[in-house]
């Protein structure tokens, strides 16, 4: 009798015992990394599955999340689950309680916020991905700049999205002017828009904190961000940096937290346990980068360490990997505040020869010999964006273009150099992981707002502008050389960021 058959006989005996004891789902580890999975129910009896592979059987994502949720008791002994009459399941509570719904997909950390009656799962990014204006009409989501950015710019960063997310999903954009949002209708009176990527509506956001209070809800990240729900003809809902629901005119600019629906057939977990620093990984996503792999093959959102500073991948341009720093530029532990000088054009600051300006400082003082081993020059676009213009004007030459950024004619207003700043509408151009109550500062972007002002992001994450003499912090952007390779890490967090080297 070979070792495999011996293990199988042992498992059969154990299955019989488990059947007698009415024990249901058990995974048994056997020597030499073989596994047996037992499942019992009243309809099928005991099932036996045995594998001699060196990994555990895949788990069902939906069942794993629900199982953890049902084991929890949150504040006031409440379960972290709210089930609506239509069968939708929402997770509700604070971060200490809702600690089981993290998913890593396509270089980004997500939270599962709801399980839909059809088995699909709605997720929203943990972080704000960018910050732009809404557009002209609160009730015309499909005609908004938000819709364009989500379904063009952001969707292009999602790996294998045709197989993983629901295509042409339905997004409920029904107006809600109530102080406390009500569940939007789903019948013919509802306003719905189709799209692959959307935003949470006001009711979904309200459900996330209903069991904890708005200031403690797990989706409160201390930054302002848009919701998809109109408050009236000219006002749109947003989640405030304090956590409560609010509204403002469409001429306001707030953060964007994209939402997607995972297909119901995306059921299997290939790693993780749903915790913040060990999120679930799902079948179909791109695998972690290997040692020796070129960094320009990786995903927007993954973390990279360069010269002991951590960055996130913005995208790949002409085989060069664009990165933006997670943290502000510092001298030691001190956040640095400098101005743009007397002109909104980046070149003036760099060529001025003055350490008082950001452009000169980044490219002469902040830059190090070690950093210069890995970076190369890149193009930084300086198109003007104001309240009445699309985010695309920061990079495209046509005013308020409807063309996708990838194919538009680029503006000739540029600066070429080694260290720049994020532009309006670019991935990770908002506050990253910082809010007013945890260290955020007013922050410059590279984009002019007018002939005398430059776009800035407030400490609570809204869109604003300031005269060039204002002194604010920045998060530098750089381009890695095409020959940069991975030497370690998994790219999933600041502490496990990819480390890099150069091809020999």
Are 264 and 236 contacting, i.e. CB atoms less than 8 angstroms apart?
A: no
- Per-residue pLDDT 10s for the chain (504 aa) are 555 455 556 655 555 554 544 444 444 444 433 444 444 443 344 444 444 444 455 578 999 999 999 999 888 888 999 999 999 999 999 999 999 999 999 999 999 999 999 999 999 999 999 999 998 899 999 999 999 999 999 999 999 999 999 999 999 999 999 989 999 999 999 999 999 999 999 999 999 999 999 999 999 999 999 999 999 989 999 999 999 999 999 989 999 999 999 999 876 788 999 999 999 999 999 999 999 999 999 999 999 999 999 999 999 999 999 999 999 999 888 999 999 988 887 666 666 678 889 999 999 999 999 999 999 999 999 999 988 889 999 999 988 788 899 999 999 999 999 999 999 999 999 998 887 777 899 999 999 999 899 999 999 999 899 999 999 999 999 999 999 999 999 999 999 999 999 998
- For residues 260 and 197, give the distance between their C-alpha atoms in angstroms, rounded to a whole number: 5
Distance CA 106, CA 258 (A): 13
CA 357 to the chain's CA centroid: 31
Q: For 204, list phi and psi in degrees, rounded to 5.
A: -65, -40
Q: What is the pLDDT of residue 50?
A: 43
3-state secondary structure of 426: coil
Closest CA to 315 of 82, 483, 477: 477
CA angle 134, 198, 101 (to 5 degrees): 125
* Distance of alpha carbon 417 from alpha carbon 154, whole angstroms: 26
- Model pLDDT, residue 267: 65
Compute CA 483 distance to the chain's CA centroid, rounded to the nearest angstrom: 27
Pairing of strands 102-105, 280-282: parallel
235, with CB counted inside 10 A (0-12, 13-18, 19+), is: middle
SS3 assignment, position 15: helix
Residue 341's pLDDT is: 85
Q: What's the pLDDT score for residue 434? A: 80
What is the torsional sign of CA 352, 391, 157, 130?
positive
Alpha-carbon distance of 232 to 215, in angstroms, equals: 25
Q: pLDDT at position 11, please?
A: 53
Q: Where are the domains of the chain?
A: 3-57, 62-262, 295-488
pTM value is: 0.88
> Would you call 371 helix, strand, or coil by DSSP?
helix
């Amino acid at each position: 009798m070979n070792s495999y058959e011996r293990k199988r006989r042992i498992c059969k005996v154990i299955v019989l015992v488990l059947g007698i004891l009415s024990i249901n789902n058990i995974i048994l580890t056997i020597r030499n990394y073989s596994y047996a999975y037992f499942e019992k129910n009243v309809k099928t009896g005991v099932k036996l599955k045995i594998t001699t592979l060196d990994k555990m059987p895949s788990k069902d994502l939906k069942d794993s999340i629900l199982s953890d949720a049902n084991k929890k008791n949150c504040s006031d002994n409440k379960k972290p689950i709210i089930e609506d009459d239509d069968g939708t399941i929402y997770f509700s509570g604070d971060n200490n309680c809702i600690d089981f719904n993290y998913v890593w997909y396509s270089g980004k950390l997500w939270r599962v916020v709801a399980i839909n009656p059809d088995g699909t799962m709605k997720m929203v990014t943990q972080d704000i991905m960018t910050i732009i204006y809404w557009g002209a009409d609160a009730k015309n989501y499909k005609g908004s700049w938000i819709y364009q950015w989500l379904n063009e710019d952001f969707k292009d960063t999602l790996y294998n999205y045709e197989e993983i997310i629901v295509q042409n999903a339905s997004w409920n954009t029904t107006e809600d002017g109530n102080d406390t949002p009500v569940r939007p209708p789903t019948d013919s009176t509802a306003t719905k828009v189709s799209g692959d990527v959307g935003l949470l509506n006001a009711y979904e956001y309200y459900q996330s904190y209903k069991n904890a209070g708005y200031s403690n809800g797990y989706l409160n990240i201390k930054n302002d961000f848009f919701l998809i729900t109109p408050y009236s003809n000219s006002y749109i809902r947003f989640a405030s940096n304090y956590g409560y629901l609010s509204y403002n005119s469409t001429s306001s600019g707030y953060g964007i937290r994209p939402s997607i629906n995972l297909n119901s057939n995306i059921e299997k977990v290939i790693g993780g346990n749903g915790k913040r620093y060990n999120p679930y990984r799902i079948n179909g996503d791109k695998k972690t980068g290997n040692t020796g792999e070129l960094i320009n093959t990786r995903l927007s959102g993954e973390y990279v360490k360069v010269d002991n500073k951590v960055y996130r991948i913005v995208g790949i341009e002409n085989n060069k990997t664009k990165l933006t720093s997670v943290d502000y530029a510092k001298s030691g532990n001190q956040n640095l505040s400098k101005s743009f000088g007397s002109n909104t054009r980046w070149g003036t600051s760099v060529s001025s020869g003055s350490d008082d300006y950001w452009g000169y400082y980044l490219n002469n003082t902040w830059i190090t010999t070690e950093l210069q081993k890995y970076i190369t020059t890149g193009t930084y676009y300086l198109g003007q964006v104001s309240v009445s213009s699309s985010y695309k004007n920061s990079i495209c030459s046509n005013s308020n273009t409807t063309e996708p950024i990838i194919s538009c004619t680029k503006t000739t207003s540029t600066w070429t150099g080694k260290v720049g700043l994020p532009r309006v509408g670019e991935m990770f151009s908002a506050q990253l992981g910082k809010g007013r109550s945890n260290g955020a500062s007013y922050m410059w972007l590279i984009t002019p707002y007018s002939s005398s002002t430059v776009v800035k992001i407030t400490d609570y994450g809204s869109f604003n502008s300031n005269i060039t003499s204002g002194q604010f912090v920045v998060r530098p952007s750089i381009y890695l050389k095409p020959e940069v390779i991975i030497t370690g890490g998994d790219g999933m967090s600041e502490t496990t960021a990819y480390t890099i080297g150069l091809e020999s």
